[in-house]
Protein backbone atom coordinates (compact mmCIF):
# COMPACT_ATOMS: atom_id res chain seq x y z
CA UNK A 1 0.00 0.00 0.00
CA UNK A 2 2.69 2.50 0.98
CA UNK A 3 6.31 2.52 2.09
CA UNK A 4 5.48 3.86 5.55
CA UNK A 5 6.03 1.35 8.37
CA UNK A 6 2.86 0.12 10.01
CA UNK A 7 2.05 2.05 13.19
CA UNK A 8 0.27 0.15 15.95
CA UNK A 9 -2.03 2.89 17.21
CA UNK A 10 -3.45 0.56 19.84
CA UNK A 11 0.03 0.10 21.26
CA UNK A 12 0.68 3.85 21.13
CA UNK A 13 -2.36 4.40 23.35
CA UNK A 14 -1.71 1.15 25.24
CA UNK A 15 -5.18 -0.14 24.45
CA UNK A 16 -6.62 -3.40 23.28
CA UNK A 17 -8.29 -3.55 19.90
CA UNK A 18 -11.70 -3.88 21.57
CA UNK A 19 -11.46 -0.57 23.48
CA UNK A 20 -14.63 1.49 23.13
CA UNK A 21 -14.72 5.11 21.96
CA UNK A 22 -15.03 6.46 25.50
CA UNK A 23 -11.92 4.57 26.63
CA UNK A 24 -9.97 5.76 23.59
CA UNK A 25 -10.84 9.36 24.39
CA UNK A 26 -10.13 9.00 28.13
CA UNK A 27 -6.69 7.45 27.53
CA UNK A 28 -5.91 10.02 24.85
CA UNK A 29 -6.70 12.90 27.22
CA UNK A 30 -4.52 11.36 29.94
CA UNK A 31 -1.54 10.96 27.61
CA UNK A 32 -2.12 14.28 25.86
CA UNK A 33 -1.97 16.08 29.18
CA UNK A 34 1.19 14.20 30.16
CA UNK A 35 3.09 14.65 26.89
CA UNK A 36 1.82 18.02 25.67
CA UNK A 37 4.83 20.19 24.76
CA UNK A 38 3.61 22.87 27.20
CA UNK A 39 4.01 20.46 30.12
CA UNK A 40 7.38 21.43 31.57
CA UNK A 41 7.73 18.25 33.62
CA UNK A 42 6.96 15.56 31.04
CA UNK A 43 6.26 17.27 27.70
CA UNK A 44 7.47 15.43 24.62
CA UNK A 45 6.47 16.83 21.24
CA UNK A 46 7.20 13.65 19.28
CA UNK A 47 5.31 11.42 21.72
CA UNK A 48 2.42 13.91 21.79
CA UNK A 49 2.25 13.81 17.97
CA UNK A 50 2.17 9.98 18.03
CA UNK A 51 -0.63 10.01 20.60
CA UNK A 52 -2.60 12.61 18.65
CA UNK A 53 -2.24 10.62 15.40
CA UNK A 54 -3.43 7.47 17.18
CA UNK A 55 -6.42 9.30 18.61
CA UNK A 56 -7.33 10.79 15.22
CA UNK A 57 -7.33 7.33 13.67
CA UNK A 58 -9.09 5.42 16.45
CA UNK A 59 -11.74 8.02 17.32
CA UNK A 60 -13.24 8.16 13.82
CA UNK A 61 -15.43 5.03 13.38
CA UNK A 62 -14.95 4.83 9.60
CA UNK A 63 -11.17 5.32 9.71
CA UNK A 64 -10.90 2.92 12.65
CA UNK A 65 -12.77 0.20 10.75
CA UNK A 66 -10.40 0.60 7.79
CA UNK A 67 -7.43 0.63 10.15
CA UNK A 68 -8.64 -2.53 11.92
CA UNK A 69 -8.59 -4.42 8.62
CA UNK A 70 -5.00 -3.30 8.05
CA UNK A 71 -4.16 -3.99 11.71
CA UNK A 72 -5.45 -7.57 11.52
CA UNK A 73 -3.62 -8.17 8.25
CA UNK A 74 -0.39 -6.79 9.68
CA UNK A 75 -0.69 -8.90 12.82
CA UNK A 76 -1.32 -12.06 10.84
CA UNK A 77 1.79 -11.43 8.73
CA UNK A 78 3.95 -10.48 11.69
CA UNK A 79 6.81 -12.80 12.38
CA UNK A 80 6.76 -15.24 15.22
CA UNK A 81 10.05 -16.01 16.88
CA UNK A 82 9.15 -19.60 17.67
CA UNK A 83 6.24 -22.00 17.74
CA UNK A 84 3.70 -21.27 20.46
CA UNK A 85 3.63 -24.88 21.68
CA UNK A 86 7.38 -24.83 22.32
CA UNK A 87 7.00 -22.24 25.07
CA UNK A 88 6.61 -24.87 27.77
CA UNK A 89 9.18 -27.27 29.00
CA UNK A 90 12.91 -27.36 28.92
CA UNK A 91 15.64 -25.01 29.96
CA UNK A 92 16.60 -24.45 26.31
CA UNK A 93 13.07 -23.30 25.50
CA UNK A 94 13.23 -20.85 28.42
CA UNK A 95 16.51 -19.52 27.04
CA UNK A 96 14.86 -19.01 23.65
CA UNK A 97 12.07 -17.02 25.29
CA UNK A 98 14.63 -14.92 27.22
CA UNK A 99 16.55 -14.17 24.02
CA UNK A 100 13.33 -13.45 22.13
CA UNK A 101 12.07 -10.96 24.71
CA UNK A 102 15.44 -9.22 24.84
CA UNK A 103 15.60 -9.09 21.03
CA UNK A 104 12.14 -7.57 20.66
CA UNK A 105 12.73 -5.04 23.46
CA UNK A 106 16.14 -4.20 22.01
CA UNK A 107 14.47 -3.35 18.70
CA UNK A 108 11.85 -1.20 20.47
CA UNK A 109 14.52 0.67 22.47
CA UNK A 110 16.61 1.15 19.35
CA UNK A 111 13.62 2.72 17.63
CA UNK A 112 12.97 5.08 20.55
CA UNK A 113 16.00 5.28 22.91
CA UNK A 114 14.39 7.54 25.50
CA UNK A 115 11.18 5.65 26.12
CA UNK A 116 11.24 2.61 23.84
CA UNK A 117 9.06 0.04 25.46
CA UNK A 118 6.39 -2.44 24.59
CA UNK A 119 3.15 -3.32 26.29
CA UNK A 120 2.62 -6.88 27.47
CA UNK A 121 -0.26 -7.50 25.05
CA UNK A 122 1.84 -6.53 22.04
CA UNK A 123 4.78 -8.55 23.38
CA UNK A 124 2.55 -11.62 23.65
CA UNK A 125 1.32 -11.16 20.07
CA UNK A 126 4.76 -10.60 18.59
CA UNK A 127 6.28 -13.57 20.37
CA UNK A 128 3.26 -15.78 19.80
CA UNK A 129 3.35 -16.78 23.46
CA UNK A 130 0.44 -16.54 25.90
CA UNK A 131 0.76 -14.35 28.99
CA UNK A 132 1.17 -17.27 31.39
CA UNK A 133 4.26 -18.42 29.49
CA UNK A 134 5.82 -14.96 29.77
CA UNK A 135 5.42 -14.58 33.54
CA UNK A 136 8.52 -16.56 34.51
CA UNK A 137 10.80 -15.12 31.80
CA UNK A 138 9.63 -11.56 32.60
CA UNK A 139 10.25 -12.09 36.31
CA UNK A 140 13.69 -13.57 35.62
CA UNK A 141 14.75 -10.81 33.21
CA UNK A 142 13.58 -8.10 35.64
CA UNK A 143 15.48 -9.72 38.55
CA UNK A 144 18.63 -9.91 36.43
CA UNK A 145 18.21 -6.21 35.66
CA UNK A 146 17.99 -6.82 31.90
CA UNK A 147 14.48 -5.43 31.50
CA UNK A 148 12.43 -2.91 33.43
CA UNK A 149 8.87 -1.70 33.65
CA UNK A 150 8.56 1.93 32.56
CA UNK A 151 6.24 4.46 34.22
CA UNK A 152 3.90 3.82 31.30
CA UNK A 153 3.64 0.16 32.32
CA UNK A 154 5.54 -1.02 29.24
CA UNK A 155 8.50 -3.38 29.33
CA UNK A 156 11.82 -1.99 28.12
CA UNK A 157 15.33 -3.34 27.85
CA UNK A 158 17.90 -1.81 30.23
CA UNK A 159 21.51 -0.88 29.52
CA UNK A 160 22.55 -4.17 31.16
CA UNK A 161 20.11 -5.96 28.87
CA UNK A 162 21.61 -4.29 25.81
CA UNK A 163 25.07 -5.30 27.04
CA UNK A 164 23.80 -8.86 27.45
CA UNK A 165 22.42 -8.87 23.90
CA UNK A 166 25.81 -7.61 22.64
CA UNK A 167 27.81 -10.03 24.80
CA UNK A 168 25.74 -13.05 23.82
CA UNK A 169 25.71 -11.95 20.18
CA UNK A 170 22.06 -12.85 19.90
CA UNK A 171 22.39 -11.80 16.27
CA UNK A 172 19.17 -9.94 15.74
CA UNK A 173 18.55 -10.07 11.98
CA UNK A 174 18.11 -6.70 10.27
CA UNK A 175 14.60 -7.63 9.20
CA UNK A 176 13.65 -8.04 12.89
CA UNK A 177 14.69 -4.52 13.86
CA UNK A 178 11.90 -1.98 13.94
CA UNK A 179 12.30 0.51 11.16
CA UNK A 180 12.69 4.16 11.90
CA UNK A 181 9.53 6.17 12.12
CA UNK A 182 8.81 8.85 9.52
CA UNK A 183 9.28 11.47 12.26
CA UNK A 184 12.86 10.28 12.86
CA UNK A 185 13.59 10.33 9.13
CA UNK A 186 12.30 13.92 8.84
CA UNK A 187 14.55 15.00 11.70
CA UNK A 188 17.66 13.58 9.97
pLDDT digits (tens, 9 = 90+) for 37-79: 999 999 899 999 999 999 999 999 999 999 988 887 776 655 4
Determine the Cα–Cα distance for residues 21 and 25; give it in Å rounded to an integer. 6
Asked if the structure places residue 114 within a domain, the reply is yes
pTM: 0.46
Asked if the structure places residue 155 within a domain, the reply is yes
65 and 92 belong to one structural domain: no
pLDDT digits 0-9 by tens, 103-151: 889 888 888 888 788 888 888 888 877 777 788 888 999 999 999 998 8
94 and 176 belong to one structural domain: yes
DSSP H/E element including 156: strand 155-157
175 and 101 belong to one structural domain: yes
Domain count, the chain: 2
Residue 18 lies in domain: 9-77
72 and 89 belong to one structural domain: no
Structural domain ending residue among the three candidates 18, 50, 77: 77
Whichever domain contains 134, its CATH number is: 1.10.10.10
Structural domain ending residue among the three candidates 21, 53, 77: 77
Asked if the structure places residue 2 within a domain, the reply is no
72 and 92 belong to one structural domain: no
Q: Give the 3-state DSSP-derived string for 44-101, with helices as H, strands as E and coil as C.
A: CHHHHHHHHHHHHHHHCHHHHHHHHHHHHHHHHHCCCCCCHHHHCCCHHHHHHHHHHH
36 and 88 belong to one structural domain: no
Among 68, 127, 121, smallest CA distance to 102 is for 127
180 and 101 belong to one structural domain: yes
What b-and-e string marks burial along 100-135, b requiring 16 or more CB atoms within 10 Å of the CB? bbbbbbbbbbeebeebbbbbbebbbebbbbeeebbe
In the chain the first and final C-alpha atoms are separated, in Å, by 24
Asked if the structure places residue 179 within a domain, the reply is yes
Q: Given pLDDT bands bounded at 50, 70 and 90, which one contains residue 183?
A: very low
52 and 94 belong to one structural domain: no
Asked if the structure places residue 72 within a domain, the reply is yes
Amino acid sequence: MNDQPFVDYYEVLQLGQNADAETVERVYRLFAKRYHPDNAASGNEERFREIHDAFEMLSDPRRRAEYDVQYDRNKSLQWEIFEQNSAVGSHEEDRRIFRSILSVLYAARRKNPLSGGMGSINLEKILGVPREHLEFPSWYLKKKGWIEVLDSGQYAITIDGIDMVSREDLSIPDDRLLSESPLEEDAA
